[in-house]
Structure 1
Amino acid sequence: MANEIKLLRFLAQDMTQAELGKRVGLTRQTIAAIEQERYSPTLDVAFRIAHVFGKRIEEVFHWTPPEGGSG
């Protein structure tokens, strides 16, 4: 799932992955994996991340239906 976390961290006075992780209860490694789209966060975590930046969830995360799917 695409996301704007890296940009939002930059705009938040260069917040580190570790700082964001601490604020949402995750490790720096998990934040990195979410940023790099190697891991999709739970809905709860996605809302917590969006809340840290004062954004709606759809401003942070972007989901695209799979090609050829009905979804």
Structure 2
Amino acid sequence: MIIKIKDIEDERVDVYRNLRERELSHIYEPDPGLFIVESPKIIERALTAGYQPVSVLMDEKMNDEHLALLAH
């Protein structure tokens, strides 16, 4: 499902905007936390390693490399 975010203050992007790496790593304790990945190459490696995205935040101007990652 694609949800367009029109305002950076939208609470759905809080995890991207307000949390530091340390906070992300403890967000679901005692279960493993979250991490944010930006590079398409690293995203592909994470997906190949079996990590499942919780969410994806991206610009509307996606290139073919990003679209291929979404299809993964």
Please, what TM-score do these two structures have when normalized by structure 2?
0.32
Q: Relative contact order (alpha carbons < 8 A, sep ≥ 6): 1 or 2 greater? A: 1
Q: Which has the higher strand share?
A: 1
Structure showing greater Rg: 2
Please, what TM-score do these two structures have when normalized by structure 1?
0.32
